[in-house]
Amino acid sequence: MQSFHNAIIWLNDYLWGPPMLVLLFGTHLFLTFRTRFIQRHIFKAIKLSVTKDPTAEGDVSQFGALTTALAATIGTGNIVGVSTAIALGGPGAVLWCWLTGVFGISTKYSEALLSVKYRVKTSNGTMLGGPMYALENGLGQKWLAVLFCIFTAIAAFGIGNTVQANSISSMVNETFNIPHYITGFIMAALTGVVIIGGVKSIARVCEKLVPFMAIFYVLGCIAILVLNSSYVLPAISLIFESAFTPQAAGGGFIGASIMMAARYGIARGLFSNESGLGSAPIVAAAAQTRNPVRQALVSASGTFWDTVVVCAMTGIVVVSSILSNPAAAEGLKGAALTKMAFAQIPVVGPIVLTFGLLTFVFSTILGWSYYGERAIEYLFGKIAIIPYRVVWVLAVFFGSIMTLQLVWDMADAMNALMAIPNLISLLLLSGVIVAETRKYLWEDNLDAISTEPIPTIKK
């Protein structure tokens, strides 16, 4: 088992080395220029995200699709992931994580556009889409679509299930001394109740849960920043300096090179906002939208909220907390660093963090259950959906009681392997992305209804 784990660590080091960072960040930059800085339209995208379009074809509202995608992305990546990036890559990792989000907006926009353009519907009217359909119907590369679905199905049980369940059961145990198996049982039962109803049930829960949990967590962050007010500007300065100059060990921080800061910042940025991963466009395809560009803009706003706002706030909170009390932060990693930061809020701090992580994790498990389900359905057909849901619920329970360092490492590897076929489709179909953007956005036809028929398939 140890040799297998060592092999996964080697694979991770290889996959997340310079070639992957260049491919991922390069795609973000390339699509930013190809879409004429689509980030300029972020406020229009936010407005569209709360605009209903009930006459358009789709299974859920645009807001429902966005909140389901946000449910999957606003998870441990925002709380634990950012702290882990700081612990391993130094404070400069925060800037790389943030830049991954800013430029990743164009990638999230592009993958959602292709997902809606190449979506199909089943004989009962259910919408199916995602990179697998863009790879098959747009590029004619079904083998890449199959590979993407295999990696997605495996990654879902890591990034979207077991590691999430384990992180919350561990924190609940540390904070309230509740046994792991009790937390696991409750989480599994709640998950089963929601996912049995499919995407519409998941979207209904996420529409209510996501705005509440995000506001609750952000208020907690603001409270800490007020307490650390004299360290906020020095923290921001240190984040920028450390991103481009090697960081010496000391003051509660480890020593880190520019490459380490970039590697862990970009890797955690992808883990957090999933731009380029190919997951969020799977639910974007289910949205009621008049044309591909409208939903693409709505999806892009998810990366803004997830990384540009929530991750940035977490990063500044953690770095400012380390500066304010370096002795308390010495030797801490991951969730322990975030816990140390929130402990500054008297009495309620640990409760705010635990409740925030609990809701973030639960929503992530719901969102990723849909992604994995669509990947399994593509590979094996509708017959596999019910067995998949049963296994998913069981994995939530067992993930809560297991030691998961191997699963964390496998999740990182599967993320990279998922991203590669998706990034290939984005680069090779960038002409389609530009043509659709010109047709609906640049020529001011955003309210136009697409006349392209949605193909019906037998599944």
Q: What is the largest CA-CA distance in the chain?
A: 63
| pLDDT given for residue 248 in this prediction | 47
Q: Which one, of 87, 55, 41, 15, lies nearest residue 291 by Cα?
A: 55
DSSP string, 24-55: HHHHHHHHHHHTT-GGGGHHHHHHHHT---TT
pLDDT of residue 247: 57
Q: What is the pLDDT of residue 202?
A: 79
Parallel, antiparallel, or unpaired for β 456-457 and 127-128?
A: unpaired
Backbone angles phi, psi at 37, to 5 degrees: 55, 65
Neighbour count for residue 383 (Cβ, 10 Å): 10
Picking from 264, 376, 268, 247, the residue whose alpha carbon sits closest to that of residue 322 is: 247
Q: How far apart are CA 415 and CA 445, in angstroms?
A: 35
**346 class by beta-carbon count within 10 Å (0-12 exposed, 13-18 middle, 19+ buried):** exposed
- Rounded to whole angstroms, how far apart are CA atoms 317 and 344? 11
61 touches 232 (CB < 8 A): no
Neighbouring C-beta atoms of residue 393, cutoff 10 Å: 21
End-to-end alpha carbon distance in the chain: 39
CA proximity to 184, closest of 197, 171, 200: 171
- The conformation of residue 456, written as its DSSP 8-state character, comes to E
CA nearest neighbour of 62 among 369, 291, 365, 377: 291
Residue 454 has a pLDDT of 85
Under-70 pLDDT residues of the chain: 1-2, 54-59, 75-77, 246-258, 271, 333-335, 403-404, 459
Report which DSSP code applies to 122. Answer: E
- Rounded CA-CA distance 342/181 in Å is 25
Cα dihedral sign for 369, 262, 408, 87?
negative
Question: Token match 């659709």: residue?
Answer: 436
pLDDT in tens, 195-234: 887 777 877 887 788 788 788 888 888 988 998 889 999 9
Strand-pair category, 456-457 with 120-122: parallel
Sequence-separated (6 or more) residues with CB below 8 Å from residue 192 = 389, 393
Q: Which of 263, 260, 300 is nearest to 280 (CA)?
A: 300
Secondary structure of residue 389 in the 3-state scheme:
helix
Distance CA 423, CA 436 (A): 18
Residue-wise pLDDT for 266-280, tens only, equals: 777 776 777 888 988
| Sole residue written with tokens 């990654």 | 155
Torsion over CA of 394, 399, 400 and 402, rounded to 10 degrees? 130
β-strand partners of 60: 287
